Structure 1
Amino acid sequence: MTAAHPPHRPEILFPLFGELTKLPGIGPKSADLLERMQITRPRDLCFTLPNAVIDRTRRATITGAPLPGVVTVEVTVGLHQPPQRKGRPYRIFVTDSATEFELVFFHAREDWLRRQLPSGERRLISGRVEIFDGRAQMAHPDYILSVDEAETLPAFEPVYPLTQGLTQKAISKAAAAAVALAPELSEWIDPTLLAREGWPAWRDAVVSAHEPQDTAALSLQDKARRRLAYDEVFVHQVTLALARATARRRKGRATVGTGALQEKVRAALPYSATGAQDRAVADITADMAATRRMNRLLQGDVGSGKTLVALLAMLAAVEAGGQAALMAPTEILARQHHEALAPLAADAGVRVALLTGRDKGADRARKLSALAAGQVDILLGTHALFQGDVLFHDLRLAIVDEQHRFGVRQRMDLSAKGALVDLLVMTATPIPRSLALSQYGDMDLSVLDEKPPGRKPVDTALISAERLDAVVARLRAAVAAGRRAYWVCPLVEESEVISATAAEARFKTLRAALGDAAVGMVHGQMPPAEKDAAMADFVAGRTQVLVATTVIEVGVNVPEASIMVIEGAEGFGLAQLHQLRGRVGRGAEKSTCLLMYSSPLTPGAQARLEIMRETEDGFRIAEEDLRLRGAGDVLGVAQSGLPRFRIADLERQADLMATAQNDARAYLSHDPDLSAPRGKAIRTALYLMEADRAIRLLSVG
Structure 2
Amino acid sequence: MRPEILFPLFSPVTSLKGVGPRVAPLLERLAGPLVRDVLWLQPHSVVRRTPSVISAALDGEVMTFEVVVESLQISRSAARPTRIRVFDQTGFMSLVFFGAYGSQLEQRHPVNARRVVSGKVELSQYGLQMVHPDYMVAPEKAGDIPQVEPIYPATEGLPPRRVRGFVVEAQSRAPELPEWQDPAWLAREQFPAWREALERLHAPQNEADLSPLSRHRRRLAYDELLAHQLAMAQRKAARRREPAARIVMGDLGDRIRAGLPFRFTAAQDRALHEIRSDLIAGERMSRLVQGDVGSGKTVVAMCAMADVARAGAQNALMAPTEILARQHFETISGPLAAHGIGVILLTGRDRGAARAEKLRGLATGAIKVAVGTHALFQDDVVFQNLQMAVIDEQHRFGVAERQRLQAKGESVHVIAMSATPIPRTLELTMYGDLDVSRIEEKPPGRTPVATRAAPMNRLDEVVARLKDAAAGGAQAFWICPLVSESELSDLAAAEMRVIALREVIGAGVGLVHGKMPAAEKDAVMADFADGKLSVLVATTVVEVGVNVPNATIMVIEQAERFGLAQLHQLRGRVGRGVRESACVLLYDPPLSETAQQRLDILRRTDDGFLIAERDLELRGGGDALGLRQSGLPDYVFVDVFAHRDLIAVAGDDARLIIARDPDLTSQRGLALRTLQELFDWKAGAGLRDAG
Q: TM-score range by the shorter chain?
A: 0.7 to 0.9
- 1:250–1:293 Cα contact (<8 Å) kept: yes
Q: Would the alpha carbon gap of residues 413 and 675 (structure 1) be closer, same or farther in structure 2, given more than 3 Å must change?
A: farther
Q: 1:533 to 1:457 in 2, by over 3 A?
A: closer
Give TM-score scaled by structure 2 length: 0.85
Could you say which residue in structure 2 is the equivalent of 1:292? 283
Cα distance change on mapping 1:213 and 1:314 into 2, 3 Å: same
Q: Distance in 1 between matches of 2:38 and 2:87?
A: 40
Task: Name the SS of the counterpart of 2:23 in structure 1.
Answer: helix
Q: Please give the alpha-carbon distance, in whole angstroms, between the structure 2 residues aligned to 1:135 and 1:502.
A: 51
Q: Distance in 2 between matches of 1:660 and 1:352?
A: 43
The one-letter code sitting in structure 2 at the alignment partner of 1:447 is R
**Cα displacement (A) at 1:271:** 2.8
Return the letter of the residue paired with 1:549.
Answer: A
> 1:376 aligns to what?
367
**Is residue 301 of structure 1 aligned with residue 287 of structure 2?**
no
- Aligned residues of 2:480 and 2:537 also touching (Cα < 8 A): no
**In 2, Cα distance between equivalents of 1:304 and 1:115:** 79
The answer on 1:278 being equivalent to 2:269 is yes
**Equivalent residue in structure 2 for 1:592, among 582, 593, 600:** 582
Map of 2:88 onto structure 1: 94
Report the CA distance between 1:135 and its aligned residue. Answer: 6.8
Q: Is contact 1:162-1:168 (8 Å) kept?
A: yes
Using the TM superposition, name which of 467-476 and 309-318 deviates more.
Answer: 467-476
Aligned twin of 1:235: 227
State the Cα distance separating 1:301 from its structure 2 match: 0.7
Which deviations, in whole Å up to 9, do the C-alpha atoms of 1:283-341 show, x marking residues without a partner?
A: 11111111111111111011111122111211221232222221122222222222222
1:43 corresponds to which residue?
36
Query: What do residues 131-180 of structure 1 show as CA deviations (whole Å, max 9, x unaligned)?
Result: 56797666665445667655554432222111222244433333222212
Is residue 29 from structure 1 mapped to residue 25 from structure 2 by the alignment? no
In the aligned structure 1, how far is the partner of 2:555 from the partner of 2:359? 42
CA distance in 1, matches of 2:112, 2:201: 33
- C-alpha separation between the residues in 2 aligned to 1:443 and 1:198? 32
Matching residue's letter, 1:48: L
1:112 aligns with one of 108, 112, 115: 108
Match of 2:153 in 1: 161
Q: Counterpart of 2:109 in structure 1: which amino acid?
A: L
Task: Give the counterpart letter for 1:174 in structure 2.
Answer: F
Which secondary structure does the structure 2 equivalent of 1:404 belong to? helix
Look up the equivalent residue of 1:9 and give its one-letter code.
Answer: R
| 1:674–1:594 Cα change, 3 Å | same
Task: Indicate if the aligned counterparts of 2:31 and 2:38 stay in contact, CA closer than 8 A.
Answer: no
CA contact (8 A) 2:96 2:129 kept: no
In 1, the alpha carbon distance for the partners of 2:530 and 2:509 equals 8
Distance 1:65 1:660, change over 3 A: farther
Q: Which stretch shifts more, 320-329 or 614-623?
A: 614-623
**Hey, what does 1:663 align to over in structure 2?**
653
Instruction: Write out per-residue CA displacement over residues 633-654 of structure 1, whole angstroms, 9 at most, x where no aligned residue.
Output: 85564x5554333332335433
Pick the aligned partner of 2:322 from 327, 331, 334: 331
1:25, 1:170 within 8 Å by CA — same for their partners in 2? no
Give the equivalent residue in structure 2 for 1:367.
358
Distance in 2, matches of 1:180 and 1:595, equals: 54
- Assess, with a 3 A threshold, how the Cα gap between structure 1 residues 510 and 241 changes in structure 2: closer, same or farther: farther
Select between 484-493 and 326-335 the one with higher mean Cα deviation. Answer: 484-493
Deviations along 1:509-539, whole A, 9 cap, x unmatched?
4653xxx7xx47474556478447525532x
TM-aligned CA distance change 1:350 to 1:535, over 3 Å: farther
Query: Please, which moves more after superposition, 356-365 or 107-116?
Result: 107-116
1:124–1:150 contact (8 Å) kept in structure 2: yes
Q: Counterpart of 1:418 in structure 2: which amino acid?
A: G
Q: CA deviation at 1:547?
A: 2.6
* Contact residue 70 and residue 112 of structure 2 kept, 8 A: no
How much does 1:491 deviate? 5.4
Deviation at 1:48, TM superposition (A): 0.9
Deviation at 1:605? 6.1
Task: Name the counterpart of 2:430.
Answer: 439
2:474 corresponds to: 484
Give me the whole-angstrom Cα distance separating, in 1, the residues matched to 2:234 and 2:6: 23
- Once residues 429 and 629 of structure 1 are traced to their aligned partners in structure 2, the CA distance between those partners, rounded to angstroms, is 18
The count of residues paired between Structure 1 and Structure 2 equals 668
Q: Quick one: which amino acid aligns to residue 445 of structure 1?
A: V
CA contact (8 A) 1:331 1:381 kept: yes
- Structure 1 unmatched ranges of 5 or more: 1-7
Aligned to 2:242: 250
The letter of the residue matching 1:672 is: P
Give the C-alpha shift of residue 459 in structure 1: 0.7
Identity of aligned residues (%): 46
Q: Counterpart of 2:527?
A: 534
In 2, Cα distance between equivalents of 1:529 and 1:112: 70
Deviations 1:349-377 (A, max 9, x none): 43322222222222222222222222222
What is the 5 A alignment of 1:611-690?
Answer: 611-626=601-616, 627-628=618-619, 632=623, 634-635=625-626, 637=628, 640=630, 642-690=632-680
Q: Which amino acid aligns with 1:15?
A: P
- In the TM superposition, residue 477 of structure 1 has moved relative to its aligned partner by 4.3
Is contact 2:69–2:112 with CA below 8 Å preserved after alignment?
Answer: no
Is 1:422 the counterpart of 2:413 in the alignment?
Answer: yes
> Please, what TM-score do these two structures have when normalized by structure 1?
0.84
Alpha-carbon spacing, 1:631–1:338, altered in 2? closer, same or farther (3 Å): farther
Within 5 Å, which residues of 2 pair with 1:490-639? 490=480, 494=487, 501=495, 505=499, 508-509=502-503, 512=506, 519=508, 521=510, 523=512, 527=520, 530-531=523-524, 534-535=527-528, 537-538=530-531, 543=532, 545-549=534-538, 553-567=543-557, 569=559, 573-597=563-587, 608-626=598-616, 627-628=618-619, 632=623, 634-635=625-626, 637=628
Partner of 1:198: 190
> SS state of the match for residue 323, structure 2?
helix
Amino acid at match of 2:375: A
